[in-house]
Amino acid sequence: MTQRITPTALPYLDIHPEVAAALAARHAVVALESTIISHGMPFPQNVEMARGVEDVVRFHGAVPATIAVLGGRLKVGLSTDELHLLATDKGVDKISTRDLPVTVALGQHGATTVASTMRIAALAGIRVFATGGTGGVHRGAGQTMDVSADLLELAHTDVCVVSAGVKSILDIGLTLEVLETQGVPAITLGETEFPAFYSRRSGFKSPLSVATPDEAARVLKAKWALGLSGGVLLANPVPAEAEIPADEMGAHIEQALRDMDALGLTGKDTTPYLLGRIVEITEGRSLITNIALVRNNAMVAAQVAVAYAALG
């Protein structure tokens, strides 16, 4: 179980007053990550997305808390200027859980991944988090050992991550295996097939399913009441009108992977490179899909957070 610490007693943590008030009132709060802003989309769509997603969360009755590290402080809830800095400053690193102590100790800026955002959300007492896509087991992991820290964080941090599934730049089957091994429920909302980010279908059966955000909230309640610590991956398929079908997407992804191999990229640079390359190859269409699915995830996360708060 994530350690329970009074947020105000935590060093290094700055909770925005609006978020702190919502948490104190046990009102619904939704965490949002910042790697998607700094390294997941080009400017200016990234900052428009970041602000738009906060609006979606508010519209559905929850308070948004975008998370990043700024000047070594763990920030939970950002100002418009801070969002703009993350969207434009090329010096903002992509930081995962392993990077947090260095970024904090040296007073640096960092855009947080799903893993590090989950950890900071949990420190602040936030249980529901919306993102675009989570990391997973990379293709060829048998050789590279490249397994996203997002999967490890899901194993032990008590946060529900709403994502559009796992894109097929990753090995979806192995990603689902690792989640199972670690006891992480991978649950698809409203479908029996696990979604593949840009596409509603992946060809993989979803390990678990729920019909509504309310059911998802009851799953969270039951999981943590049972003492089953760790996260939940709630997969929310991209809206049909915004998807790029899997058979079409396959060729684009193969192309992007070939281009990446030709450049010899490895490690943390691979996901940002592939996202950017796929935007180029699809001539901007994947970016429209990406924004639509993040907004859809923000809506569902807000609905889950509201339902979870109502369970008391």
Residues that bind Mn ion (CB under 5 A): 146
Q: Find which of Mn ion, ligand PSU, none residue 230 binds, CB within 5 to 8 Å per kind.
A: none
Phi, psi of 300 (to 5 degrees): -65, -40
Binding-residue total with ligand PSU (CB under 6 A): 16
36 is a site residue for ligand PSU (CB under 6 A): yes
* Segment near ligand PSU (CB under 6 A); pick from 64-72, 143-151, 185-193, 278-286: 143-151
Q: Among residues 87 and 114, whose Cβ is nearest to ligand PSU?
A: 114
Q: Which residues are catalytic?
A: 33, 167
Count of CB atoms situated within 10 Å of the CB of 160: 30
243 is a site residue for ligand PSU (CB under 6 A): no
33 is a site residue for ligand PSU (CB under 6 A): yes
Q: Minimal distance in Å, beta carbon 151 to ligand PSU?
A: 9
B/e letters for 180-193, b = 16+ CB within 10 Å, e = fewer, are: eeeebbbbbbebeb
268 is a site residue for ligand PSU (CB under 6 A): yes
| Alpha-carbon gap, residue 200 to 25, rounded angstroms | 37
Query: Residue 265 carries which DSSP code?
Result: -
Rule CB under 6 A: choose which of 31, 32, 76, 114 binds ligand PSU: 114
119 is a site residue for ligand PSU (CB under 6 A): no
133 is a site residue for ligand PSU (CB under 6 A): yes
Q: Find which of Mn ion, ligand PSU, none residue 132 binds, CB within 5 to 8 Å per kind.
A: ligand PSU
Q: Which residue is nearest to Mn ion (CB)?
A: 146
Q: Find which of Mn ion, ligand PSU, none residue 40 binds, CB within 5 to 8 Å per kind.
A: ligand PSU
| Chain positions contacting ligand PSU, by CB under 6 A | 33, 35-36, 40, 113-114, 132-135, 148-150, 268, 271, 275
